[in-house]
Structure 1
Amino acid sequence: MPTHDDVDAFLTETLLTADPTLDAALRAQHEAGMPAIEVAPVNAKFLHLLTRVAGARRVLEIGTLGGYSTIWLARAVGAEGRVVTIEAEPANAAVAQANLERAGVADRVEILLGRGTEVLPTLDGGEPFDLVFIDADKESNTVYLDWAARLGRPGTVIVLDNVVRGGEVADAGTADSKVLGARRGIEMLGTDPRFDATALQTLDRKGWDGIALAIVVTPAAS
């Protein structure tokens, strides 16, 4: 009986073409000692297609890591688009910058160094973002969602990653700070009138997890 890893491999091999640039980005990330917590290839392609479907030209990413998902986003926005990505660790940002340059998309990406909670307020007042991808420390999910609404506009697409946590998100008694962050993010999306949202479970080479997908439906709070 095929396993979910077999299915993931089949989908990846069938739906994604070989891409030495992306392979090199992952190698550089892993050789630098970063954890293998980047989005799986099929999920990265989903993010890429979602960006294109939304017609997004300005994208905000919270959590760069080695720039793997950033490359997918940068390709999706096109040569006239812009990706702003936030990374807390200088070493990660350096690897990401090199990966973006190798991929030929560095001219459409700006890496902002610092914790998301500190960097996001500096973006207030600028042109709104069309899509926001949140994939950073889970404890700050509600803060990131609030800023996604503030820095977006009605119709802005928001993707919140890693919301299922191997099913632990359903445990109301959890003491795990990451799971609590995921739960609070989901609860915020369900109660905050600025958002209309849903969530999907995923099962791929990285195991059982999921994403929340939302759009901003009301103007950001003043």
Structure 2
Amino acid sequence: MTSENRIYAPTSIVDWAKSDAYHNSFLIPKDDVLDAAVKNCVAQGVPAEIAVSAAHGKFLNLLVKSLGVKRILEIGTLGGYSSICMGRAIPDDGELTTLEVNETHAKVARENLANAGLEKKCKVILGPAYDSMVRLHPEVPFDLIFIDADKKSNVKYFTEAKRLVKKGGVIIVDNMVEYGNVSDLELENPSSWALGVRNLLALLKDDDEVEATTIATVGERGFDGFLYAVRK
């Protein structure tokens, strides 16, 4: 097949993962700390395969650096992979607060953050994320909020995120596409994931407090995407 013909040829996760690996080989050097975090997750039963990919982690890191972010709120810690990526990018006087409902996940994340030397800048709060958000009343609002937790609660998380983020601040919501299931309105019995994303999109349609767009992605984690929103 010529390259011209391949432009319109169907692709699969095999192709996407291969592409990720190729680009990463040039742009993302070997990282012993992140590798150790993944190994620690696997060893303790934390599903590392649902964490952000290496490329997406690097994107979050670069985004934090380029925006000059100092205060981050993360909804959904898992094993702390994305927390490490973002925590490395904030200055020494910055702070990342990450919310996790699962006690084992929180324990592993704290271990991984300590191994990365980030325990002083990154704090893990154990408990239901929405309840933790409601209890937060920071004197200084967050610069960036990253939502990557149970999708059925997207509307609740996003509503609180708007309260907690500064004007001009960024809210990112992960997993907005779910292999195209979100936009497939003929799909029987859509998942709580798809329904949670649809509910968030419906909310945003008439929300004049933010400007937002969805960026679809393909890679080693499949066909998905994220919402990028700016608080007016």
Please classify the TM superposition score into its range, dividing by the shorter chain length.
over 0.9
Residue-by-residue CA offset, 1:136-163 (whole Å, 9 max, x unaligned): 0000001111111100121110110000
Identify the residue that residue 14 of structure 1 maps to in structure 2: 26
User: Once superposed, what is the RMSD of the aligned Cα atoms?
Assistant: 1.4
Identify the residue that residue 220 of structure 1 maps to in structure 2: none
**5+ residue gaps, structure 1:** 218-222
**Mapped partners of 2:171, 2:24: distance in 1:** 24
- SS of 2:77 mapped into structure 1: coil
The size of the alignment, in residue pairs, is 217
TM-score normalised by L of structure 2: 0.90
Equivalent positions of 1:70-81 (< 5 A) are 70-81=83-94
Q: Is the 8 A contact 1:117 1:144 kept in 2?
A: yes
Equivalent positions of 1:4-153 (< 5 A) are 4-35=16-47, 36-153=49-166
**Mapped partners of 2:185, 2:22: distance in 1:** 35
- SS of 1:168 mapped into structure 2: coil
CA displacement at 1:33 relative to structure 2: 1.2
Counterpart residue identity of residue 130, structure 1: D
Residue-by-residue CA offset, 1:9-53 (whole Å, 9 max, x unaligned): 011111101110010001111111122210000001111111112
Q: Is the 8 A contact 1:168 1:179 kept in 2?
A: yes
Once the two structures are overlaid, the 10-residue window that deviates more, 189-198 or 94-103, is 189-198
Counterpart residue identity of residue 17, structure 2: D
Equivalent positions of 1:154-173 (< 5 A) are 154-172=167-185
Residue-by-residue CA offset, 1:166-207 (whole Å, 9 max, x unaligned): 000102355321110011122323321111000111101011
Q: Is the 8 A contact 1:190 1:196 kept in 2?
A: no
Identify the residue that residue 4 of structure 2 maps to in structure 1: none
Matched, 1:182 2:197: yes
Question: Would the alpha carbon gap of residues 11 and 76 (structure 1) be closer, same or farther in structure 2, given more than 3 Å must change?
Answer: same
Compare CA radii of gyration and give the structure with the larger one.
2
**Mapped partners of 1:173, 1:115: distance in 2:** 33
Q: Is the 8 A contact 1:139 1:178 kept in 2?
A: yes
Residue-by-residue CA offset, 1:80-132 (whole Å, 9 max, x unaligned): 11000000011100000000000001100111111111110110253200000
Counterpart residue identity of residue 36, structure 2: A
Identify the residue that residue 6 of structure 2 maps to in structure 1: none
**Mapped partners of 1:126, 1:28: distance in 2:** 35
Q: Is the 8 A contact 1:189 1:214 kept in 2?
A: no
- Of 209, 216, 224, the match for 1:209: 224
TM-score normalised by L of structure 1: 0.94
Aligned sequence identity (%)? 39
Q: Is the 8 A contact 1:135 1:162 kept in 2?
A: yes
